[in-house]
Structure 1
Amino acid sequence: MIDATIVHNVHRERFEVLVDGRVIGKAAYKTYDEGGSPQRIFYHTVINEEYGGQGLAGRLAEVALNETVSEGLRIVPVCPFIKTFLTKHPEYEADTTAPTPAHLEYLSAALVPAARA
């Protein structure tokens, strides 16, 4: 198994998989604090192709979701990988909120400036 480290890059709003100090994967999110309960909307998870099939995405998801829960935030799964991971891990069900149109509108507006940068 590859020697990878998973870190939370708060400033970039993502959890990263590092190999030899290089980012080879990430689980990106946006923090959503509308409606009274802070939430983390996960919208994109990716592992570089050459590192695929080694279980890194699952490890990344587990670390990201565990830290989200421990911080008292709700999980909002928009990313297909995170959605699928959650169906296989019912222990996160009590900490998960289904995406609503408000979540998707917020996410869309939040990502527009990032796409231009």
Structure 2
Amino acid sequence: MIDVTIRHNVDRERFEVLIGGRVIGKAAYKAYDDGWSPQRIFYHTVINEEYGGQGLAGRLAEAALNGTVSEGLRIVPVCPFIQKFLTKHPEYEADATVPTPAHLKYLSAALVPAARA
């Protein structure tokens, strides 16, 4: 049995899947506040290829979304995996916000410095 841990790495703005203490997957986000409600824009979810097909991405998404909701934040699904996950899990519908051009503009600007680093 594989020892899987899922944790929220606040400093890196992502939820991580670890096996044996090694990060093998992540659900990355950017914090966003439109003045009405704080939100978490999920933009990238990935599991290392050698761990694919084990349901780890689904477990990661569930932990990330549950954590987001429990913190009182809205879910903004830009990441295709998170979008698809939400279509299969309508229990998150009330906590999700459809991405707007403002979300995408903010995300694009927020990721530029990260890409240069």
**RMSD, aligned α-carbons:** 0.7
Runs of 4+ in 1 over 3 A off after TM superposition: none
Which amino acid in the other structure matches residue 64 of structure 1?
Answer: A
Extract unaligned runs of 5+ from structure 2: none
Q: Distance in 1 between matches of 2:51 and 2:84?
A: 20
Question: Structure 2 length normalisation: TM-score?
Answer: 0.98
Alignment match, 1:70: 70
The amino acid of 1:101's aligned partner reads P
Note the 1:6-25 alignment, pairs <5 A: 6-25=6-25
**Gaps (5+ residues) in structure 1?**
none
What amino acid does structure 2 have at the position aligned with 1:92? Answer: Y
Q: The residue matched to 2:28 in structure 1 has which SS?
A: strand
Does residue 61 of the first structure (1) align with residue 61 of the second (2)?
Answer: yes
Q: Alpha-carbon deviation of 1:2?
A: 2.7
Distance (Å, rounded) in 1 between the aligned partners of 2:73 and 2:31: 9
Aligned with 2:3: secondary structure?
A: coil
The one-letter amino acid of 1:20's match is G
- The answer to whether structure 1 residue 36 and structure 2 residue 36 are counterparts is yes
- Partner of 1:100 in structure 2? 100
What is the distance in 2 between the residues matched to 1:2 and 1:55? 12
- Paired with 1:2 and 1:54, the residues of 2 have a C-alpha distance of 11
Aligned residues: 117
Aligned-partner Cα distance in 2 for 1:65–1:98: 15
